Every structure is written in structure tokens, then in C-alpha cells.
Amino acid sequence: MQRRNTKKLKSACARPISGGMTAPSGALPDEIRNCRLCRARFGATASAHQPRPVVWYRPGARILIAGQAPGTRVHASGRPFTDPSGDRLRAWMDIDEATFYDQRRIAILPMAFCFPGLDAKGADLPPPPICAETWRRRVLADMGRPRLTLLVGGYAQKWHLGDGAADGVTATVARWREHSGEIFALPHPSWRNTGWIKKNPWFTAELLPELKNRVKDALNDERSNPD
């Protein structure tokens, strides 16, 4: 894999969040945004970057997207899913960017709030467990119960489903009808998973139409039952 531009990674955390949509404010989001627990860990990676927690939620959001961790583009932008994976995820949900980034509607909580860094070959490192151990239960309690939860990728599925995700992402996603109608397990929307999607046509033909309906229902429920 081609090595990323580490100079850009090092300077990204000094830039403000881009775009017209702002990050959430409040005691807990601000506390997370100021977290530097992994400063030494990130400094020792091939990317040698500094922490930049990307926090994107407000209490009362109707949909929770539980993802993996920010990548290099999200580390630079300060907004989640500002990459091709985000384009694909929004297509799966059948929503536009304005809805996706509306924190009153959708909370985006990865298993690690910071970009974990790159290994010696230029590949993304996994989310460090210390982030979820430190913050996740507090954030979920602060957010409240969503109408719909999307578990994107194996790390989120293992944390939220426990033994229910023990046999891997494919089997977990394939059991989508067995999960509560409030939970959908999804593969990561990375373009590296295009082959997986082709090998599993039921995902596009059966799961995605139901997912789009549930997303629509959750957002309509918010409009009819505002907090």
C-alpha cells in the first residue's frame, strides 16, 4: 500500500473543522475532544501524528452509526466519513449529506475517536481498545437510546453484540433478520469490500432495501416525536 503523506497528518489537528456543520459542544464532547491518552501511542506509529478526536453526536439522535475509527481523510477534515466510504454508506442509507451530518438526527460514534495511525507498510492500525474502555459507555448513556443502530464493521459488532458476532462479519451480517429491527450489522463501506458485496448478492437485494426503509422510519419518527 502506498504510504500516506505524514506531514499532512501531523498538521491536520491544528486546523478547524471544515464545512458549515459544526461539531457538538457540551461537557462530555469537549472532554473527549481534549483527550490525549494516546499521544505517545500515536507518536510511535509510522504516521507519527497527534490525537485529534472526532466527536459527532448530540443527545437524542434517532440513528446511531457505530463505526471503526477515523482514517487519514477524517483526521484531516475533523468530520466523520468524509471519504468514499461515507459516500457508499450514505447511499446504503439513502440519505443526503445534510441529513447524515445533522447531529439531531444521526450520531456517529466510532470505536476509537482518533485516527489510530499507520503501520510500517502504510496500512491503518486497528482502533486502540483504551478509547472504548474510557469513553464508550459514557457517550452511549449521554446520547440515550436511538431508534436505529447501524453496526459498521467487525469492531463495532463485537463490542455491541458480544458472542453474537463471534463468527465474523459475514455471518453476523447474514443473520440480519435475527437481530432486532432496531439493529443492522453492516460490512465496512470501504471500496475494498466491493468484492465482498459481489459475492453476497443478498446484501444488496434483500438487506439494503429493508435498511433504507428503517432509516426512513427512524427519521420520520423523529419529526413526529421531537424531544
Q: What are phi and psi of 179, to 5 degrees?
A: -80, 160
Closest CA to 170 of 187, 182, 156, 184: 187
**pLDDT score for 5:** 47
* Cβ–Cβ under 8 Å, residues 165 and 155: no
Question: From CA 136, how far away is CA 120, in angstroms rounded?
Answer: 29
Question: From CA 97, how far away is CA 20, in angstroms rounded?
Answer: 12
Task: Tell me the residue type at 17.
Answer: I
**pLDDT score for 25:** 57
Q: Which one has a higher pLDDT value, 8 or 212?
A: 212
Q: Which domains does the chain have, with CATH numbers?
A: 6-10+23-222 (3.40.470.10)
The pLDDT mean for the chain works out to 88
Looking at residues 95-118, what average pLDDT do you find?
97
**pLDDT score for 188:** 96
pTM of the entire structure?
Answer: 0.87
